[in-house]
Every structure is written in structure tokens, then in C-alpha cells.
Chain A
């Protein structure tokens, strides 16, 4: 399919070219990286993407705004409702809809629940890549609780189609707040276990410390966002820089690390789970148990104008650029994927690393191919 040459570099006949993926279990989906090896050192790394391409942007141009929202779910499928929010915010801005405060709070609770769910999946699969199976079983066990809470309210586990213009589709389940509080208590008991199994694990230290160092300058130049950027020492977080929904009302920190290595990226994601729990706890106190959950939006909305809105999803800045031409369908929708942009550092980090380190580096980038290939 590709025209990029996989031949050895002329005059370097000792270089061996290896295809990593697209069916390699450690590539988190369908990433194919053409890797040039000299002994165990990587000399070249060319990522190839597009094996999961579904033409999201073009399909969405042919759909009404209401129909676009369920499609966005299919991008970053491990973090569910987080994908819906950019489109919803952009359309709300263009329409000038008043969103009830309670709807914003519910949206933010879901947003942070999915951040925990996504980081749990990352933790399990990253440890699987490093050769540990047990954390994977435990993280999926805990993630199952989140998905159960989501299903009780939204009707689906991974692709809920729950946010809508002006709020959320339906009110939360009567026991939603109790379920979430129970889950947070459960997480509080679990987190020390995860710290023991992952962050304090000497094997993890040996495999990740000092491996795949991404300097601050390089990270900014490549445009990475999210935990990968914050692990390189840049405290950029869309939730703080351009607050949306209920984030202005809650207190949280943006964990950063100056090391920029694989371990730092692990550490930052761990701290984000703690921060997400903190945010949800505050919101559980603030959110009224009953009240409006949806603003008034005409079912036949028409939009003209253009707008870029971004949110901080589990992987970084997930943005969308919506152009409306006055009809009920978008003229153009462009998604700015966080995982897609974070993938651009693969050549920087891979070249010079050992082959087995490449697996650890890749899992620390936490790519999700639904969003990268779109």
C-alpha cells in the first residue's frame, strides 16, 4: 500500500528492516512501524497509519449536527463521551445556547470518569507490553465498574452518545451519585496496589527510567499535548488554559515532571487519576441531585459561522473546527486528534533506542487507533 521504501540505506547493508505491526500485539491497534535495525539499535522508524481509516470527517459533512455526535464517539473509543464534547461545545457557541450549570457538572463528571477509565486501560496495556499480566486483569476489573455506572445512565458502555447540544440526553440514574462516590472510595483503596505493582516496581524502573527522553523543546516543536507534553515539563492543560464546562469551579493541579522519559509519562498519568478523583469528589458535592439537565435547543438547528473548540481528553488536546454554512449540516468538520499528534514523536524517540525499549516508549504514548486513523 505504501510507496515509502523499505530497502536498506545504500551502502549500509548491515541494516535490517523489520515491520512492526500492523498485527503486532504490542502496537495498541493497527500501527505499523517500519524499523531499521543495526544489531539491537533502531536506526530508522517510519510509522504508517491508516489501517482503521473510516473517513469520519467526510461522513460527518453529510450528516446533520445531531447525527454528528454519535460518530465522534467512534474516534477515541476508550474514552467515550470525551470525544463528543468538542463538537457539542462548538455548536453551543455558535448557537449561543444557555447550558444549565447542572448539565455542565454532569458532563464534567462523565468526562473525568472516562479519563480514569482510559488511564486504567493504558495502565493495563502498558504493563502487558512490559510483560506483566496481572495489572491488566485488575485495571479492567475496575474499569468495568465505571462502564457499569455509565451504562446505567447513558444506555451504552463505551460509545454512549450521551452529550447533546445544551446539556445531556437524559437525567442521571437516581443512584448515580451514590455509585460514583462508592467507586471513588473503591479507587482510593485500589490506587496503593497500582502504585506497588506499577510505579514502585523495580522492573518498571529498569525498563522505563531514562528511556525515550523527550526534551521540552522537541515536545513543543512536535506539537504533542496531554500527559506526554506534561511529562516533558510543560504545564499546558486545556482545562486550565481555556476552561470549559464546570472546570472553572473546581480546584485541581496539573501534574508535570521535568524528566521527559517513559517513567515520567507513567507517573503523570498516575497523578492524573488522583486529580480526576479529586475533581469528581468536588463535583459530587456541588451538583444538585435534581434539576435541569438540558437547555432548550430547536431540533431543527441551523448554523452559520465557524468555531474551533478544544478539550483536554485523556490523551491531550482534542479539538474540532466546525464550519457552518447556514444549513443543518456542517460544511466542514476537522478533528484535531491528540493521539495522532503525539504519534509524531515516534522517530525522535525510537531512533537510537533499543528495540525492546521501543515497545515501552510506544505504550507510554498511549495511542488509540480509532482516533489516529479516524
Chain B
């Protein structure tokens, strides 16, 4: 008797398992065909960092060192000197150690002019870690290659085919950008 009921239990369990698994056979597979189909990452996704230049090729960064101060991993190294003609500073060195960077985007949040931005280029795997010790040319190149980037101050910006930098249409923007702009102005006042 108990043997019979045990066999029945086992058959029932097998049946339930098979039925449950069988239901999923007809669902869409969640597999991503990555190297063949590029994933569509959200615009705020932090995959790498880039340093944006203005459209005319001049530097957006005003070398205020805010990003260096904000970085928790302390991987940003900036050296600067005073601009001999005019005001402000010029960059001597702008290095980010992308190996030890933890992609927390604290630097992007700290930047007052949205010069350092997050991009969605994640294909950075390499056999030689030294290729990821990014200097200023590397960071500029990252921004030139990318069509779209995000910073909290300006939201998503796109590079058009003829090299213009424009703000992305509202439907591409993440939430709360209008409110984001307000506290940004207040902070400058303080």
C-alpha cells in the first residue's frame, strides 16, 4: 500500500514538474544574442566614462577638480596650471584608472559643466590592464565614438551625424530632469 502511494507520489511529482516546465517551452526565450544583436541599454546605464568636448573641439572641462574630490575609489588624477592668457585653468593631465573605477558615477554627479559623462559602451574587455588606464586622449576618444551620453545636469545628449551635440528629445530622457535642473542651480548659489 505504502509502496503504491509512494509510486503515485513520485509519478504525480514528475508530472507536475514536466507540466510546469512544458508551459515555458512556448514562452519567448530570454536569451540575448549579444555579439550578433547589441543590447539596448537604458540611457542612464553606467558602463564607462568619457570626457566630452565642445562642438568646436575646445575643452568643456573647466578643471575644477570636483570629480577628483568626489571619487570614492580615488582613481582620478588631474594636474592643471593657470591659463597664462585669460582666466581659468588648463589641463596638464587627466587620468582615470578605469580598472579600479567602480562605476558609481559620483564624479559625473559632481561635475558642474557635464564634462565627464557616463556612456553605454561596455566592450572594454582586454588582455592588458594597462590599456584601461585612461588618459585624456582615451577619454576624448570614448566620447567621440559614442552617440549618446548621460549626465545629471544636462540629461541625455546625442551627437548628430554632422557632429552637433544636441539634447535628446524628452521621450529619451530619464525621469525628473526638470526638477534636476532646479537643485543644480540652487547649489551654484550656495
Contacts and interface: CB of A to CB of B under 8 A. Distances in A.
Interface of A: 63, 66-68, 70-71, 73-74, 134, 138, 141, 144, 151-156, 159, 161, 169-174, 176, 193, 196-197, 200-203, 290, 292-294, 296, 298-299
Given A156-B46, A293-B179, A196 B17 contact: yes
Contacts of B183: 294, 296
Given A172-B176, A174-B175, A161 B104 contact: yes
Interface string B1-28: 0000000011001001101110110000
16 contacts: A67-B71, A70-B106, A71-B72, A138-B24, A151-B42, A156-B45, A159-B102, A169-B109, A171-B180, A173-B44, A173-B174, A196-B19, A197-B17, A202-B10, A293-B179, A299-B187
Nearest to A59: B72
A153 B175 CA distance: 8
Contacts of A298: 190
Chain A CB within 10 Å — which of B23, B41, B118, B175 has the most?
A: B175
- Chain B's interface size range is 35 or more
A201 B45 contact: no
Which 9 residue pairs across A and B have the least CB separation, nearest first?
Answer: A171-B176, A67-B72, A70-B104, A171-B175, A155-B44, A152-B42, A161-B104, A155-B46, A202-B13
Given A152-B42, A170-B180, A197 B72 contact: no
Interface of B: 9-10, 13, 16-17, 19-21, 23-24, 30, 41-42, 44-46, 70-72, 102-106, 109, 118, 150, 152, 174-177, 179-180, 183, 187, 190
Contacts of B174: 152-153, 170-171, 173-174
Nearest to A62: B74
Given A161-B105, A294-B183, A201 B13 contact: yes
Contact of A171 (B20, B118, B179): B179
